[in-house]
Structure 1
Amino acid sequence: MKVLAASTDPVYTRSATPTKLAVWISRYLQDERDLPFAYLMLQITATMLPLAAALFVPALRGNAWWWALYGVFFYLSNARFKGPFGLMLHCTSHRVLFKKKYGWLNNYIPWVLGPLFGQTPESYFTHHMGMHHPENNMPDDESSTMFYQRDSVRGFLRYLGDFMVVGVPRLVGYFSRRNKTTLRYRLLRGEVIYFVVTLVLCFVNLPATLAVFVVPFVLSRVIMMLGNWAQHAFIDADAPDNCYRNSVTCINTPYNHKCWNDGYHISHHLKPALHWSDHPAHFRNNLDKYADNEAIVFDGIHFLHIFFYLMAKRYDLLARHFVLLDGTARTELEVTDLLRSRTQRIALPVLHTAVA
């Protein structure tokens, strides 16, 4: 267990001497604090787009140069840029990046760069903004984790399989039930265009299509579900709709520097439009509420750690990073019992009693 330590997570500090490039780009941005997103866009555009195009060059097909280029593409897509891009997509879904005057540029991330990371153009926005946040991991959230045993490999594989096979049809059904026809149209438009283009490209250059679109698509959906599982692994069955008790926060981790404070998932559900750089301060300013609700906060680890520790049932490792928010001493057994209690599958009768 850990006592609450000083924050090492990123906050915004305005440069006293901004570069000419920063000044120029800021003219287009809704919020100058999002300059790092613009820089990331430029990096991806300058590296991954040319690599993706090169993989489709017929003269390179099947030779050593093709495999070398694919190795670089795979590394950039999955090791260097996947996390930062995915959470940039997340942040810019909540808060548009470009000013209204330049609103057409907001399509660049989901429609041009997104497919390189396996993101079908409108699926993330419609799923996350149109369903996940409004439903808050409750039963009407088609990606809810609450009906699964959340420290079980079998439970996760069932969860992942459900999403991969019927995730989109269920999301379409949700939008139909909620009469969210615009979101349903955006979802289906993005999915259909993505898969039609991918199918056509398979006849043009199958290896390149698999490398650029199909493999990233599969990996992306696995990673997204793994992340959502870890973010909503700890749920209090007595208050499953309480954001403090159905999510988790990870502080003081390099992950927050790489992925725009994504570890602050509790405050993100409390205030979805809060700027990514404001989460550390919001957490510190509301510690009493976190403590009163027995919110689960970890120091020094992130969601991948949580996922793999849970799959191995290593509650002792989770307990080592558990933050004692109110300073009250707890034994390891007390902490692991709390953590275990919140990973148990919640049956519908229990849920109905809790929210009645």
Structure 2
Amino acid sequence: MPLPSLTHGFYKHSLLWQALLTDLEHLRSVRVSLISPAQMRHVTEIPFTDPVYVPKEASGFTRFMMKYIRDERDIVFVHLIIKILLVIVPIAVFLYIPLMFSWWIAIGYLTLNWAFFTPPYILMLHCTSHRPLFKRKYDWMNKIIPWFLGPFFGETPETYFGHHMGMHHPENNLREDLSSTIEFQRDSFGDFMKYFLRFITLGMVDLTNYFTRKKRFKLRKNTVLGELSWYTFVIAMSFVNWQATLVVFIIPFIFTRFAMMAGNWGQHAFVDADAPANCYRNSITCIEVGYNKQCFNDGYHIIHHIKPAMHYTDMAKEFRDNLENYQKEQAIVFEGIDFFMVWFF
């Protein structure tokens, strides 16, 4: 049965579309890739398991780290940093050892990296861009995540912060947002490729010009420094071992920039043309999906645009406490799928 236009949100008596996406041919036959009203259920029927903070007695390690970090809830980021240092970094170094490089090891490394480390790393970078991990006294340690770890996951230093904090949030997916989706046909892979290719070829030029136009000169300086530092480092490492450099730095760079644009495309796939600046209507929320558990509740994108500094462990409760606002504003909420599934379908 035909679905209503998504321009004005969802059905009057339901907050949620549960996207099961099983009948691909049917989905292709309609303009919006969602299920029929008969398959919907109200949000109050859903058991919530997305991450929330549950206070517990701190371990000795947590008590030690509290000397350095701002928020006890962020100890998970310290654990992730340690895992990366113990797993990803040693394998990457191993690939550079003369005569030790193997394409089979390289494939295993990339699979491990992308499946288990890249998604949580990028969302750790996201969370700590909004809420710095380490105390002001130890501010230099906040450079570990973007400068030292970032290149292993395709992130050039400072550019994520500049693009996300200095441009995307202030512009809110409107026309001055360099990653805005509103000019594109968002069910067209061809339009997505135009979007992605513009970003990967001219994205940093556009961002630099944006900062110049807005007189945000410190952000411009840091972004250019970070991007050029990455290129200089990668060129130098290519002379050491081009194969290892391709696997450890260059392929992740391309993969991550593609993934970030696919994610943003999904986050802002449905925009109410009558209220494009309304965060409830230019973003979506994805609940009760494994992605939220791996990636620090990143699915709660609507509230993230409304309250960017909110800690990720508060988002699920905020959603439940403010269901009336989501319904009043005709917000789009998915259960059981994430932004990348929205992008794909």
TM-score (norm 2): 0.86
For residue 290 of structure 1, the aligned residue among 314, 323, 326 is 326
Deviation at 1:7, TM superposition (A): 1.7
SS in 1 for 2:134: coil
Deviation at 1:67, TM superposition (A): 3.1
Partner of 1:71: 107
SS in 2 for 1:245: helix
- Distance in 2 (alpha carbons) for counterparts of 1:103 and 1:43: 21
| Kept after mapping to 2: 8 A contact 1:232/1:247 | yes
For residue 216 of structure 1, the aligned residue among 252, 271, 274 is 252
For residue 124 of structure 2, the aligned residue among 88, 96, 99 is 88
- Structure 1 stretches of at least 4 aligned residues deviating more than 4 Å after TM superposition: none
Residue 205 of structure 2 corresponds to residue 166 of structure 1:
no
Q: What 5-or-longer segments of structure 1 have no aligned partner?
A: 310-356
Q: Write out aligned runs for 1:170-249 (5 A).
A: 170-249=206-285
For residue 28 of structure 1, the aligned residue among 44, 59, 68 is 68
- Distance in 2 (alpha carbons) for counterparts of 1:267 and 1:187: 27
Deviation per residue, 1:223-244 (Å, 9 max, x gap): 0000000000010000000000
For residue 14 of structure 1, the aligned residue among 51, 55, 58 is 55
SS in 1 for 2:282: coil
For residue 142 of structure 1, the aligned residue among 175, 178, 194 is 178
Deviation at 1:28, TM superposition (A): 1.2
Partner of 1:255: 291
Deviation at 1:72, TM superposition (A): 3.4
- Distance in 1 (alpha carbons) for counterparts of 2:221 and 2:109: 32
Partner of 1:327: none
- Distance in 2 (alpha carbons) for counterparts of 1:252 and 1:172: 38
Residue 147 of structure 2 corresponds to residue 106 of structure 1:
no
- Distance in 2 (alpha carbons) for counterparts of 1:59 and 1:157: 38
Partner of 2:36: none
- Distance in 2 (alpha carbons) for counterparts of 1:231 and 1:71: 30
Q: Residue type matched to 1:41 in 2?
A: I
Q: Residue type matched to 1:284 in 2?
A: R
Deviation at 1:68, TM superposition (A): 4.2
SS in 2 for 1:38: helix
- Distance in 1 (alpha carbons) for counterparts of 2:319 and 2:241: 49
SS in 2 for 1:33: helix
- Distance in 1 (alpha carbons) for counterparts of 2:338 and 2:53: 21
| Kept after mapping to 2: 8 A contact 1:244/1:290 | yes
Residue 191 of structure 2 corresponds to residue 155 of structure 1:
yes
Deviation at 1:27, TM superposition (A): 2.1
SS in 2 for 1:198: helix
SS in 2 for 1:119: coil
SS in 1 for 2:229: helix
- Distance in 1 (alpha carbons) for counterparts of 2:111 and 2:194: 29
- Distance in 1 (alpha carbons) for counterparts of 2:112 and 2:149: 13
Residue 316 of structure 2 corresponds to residue 275 of structure 1:
no
Q: Percent identity?
A: 48
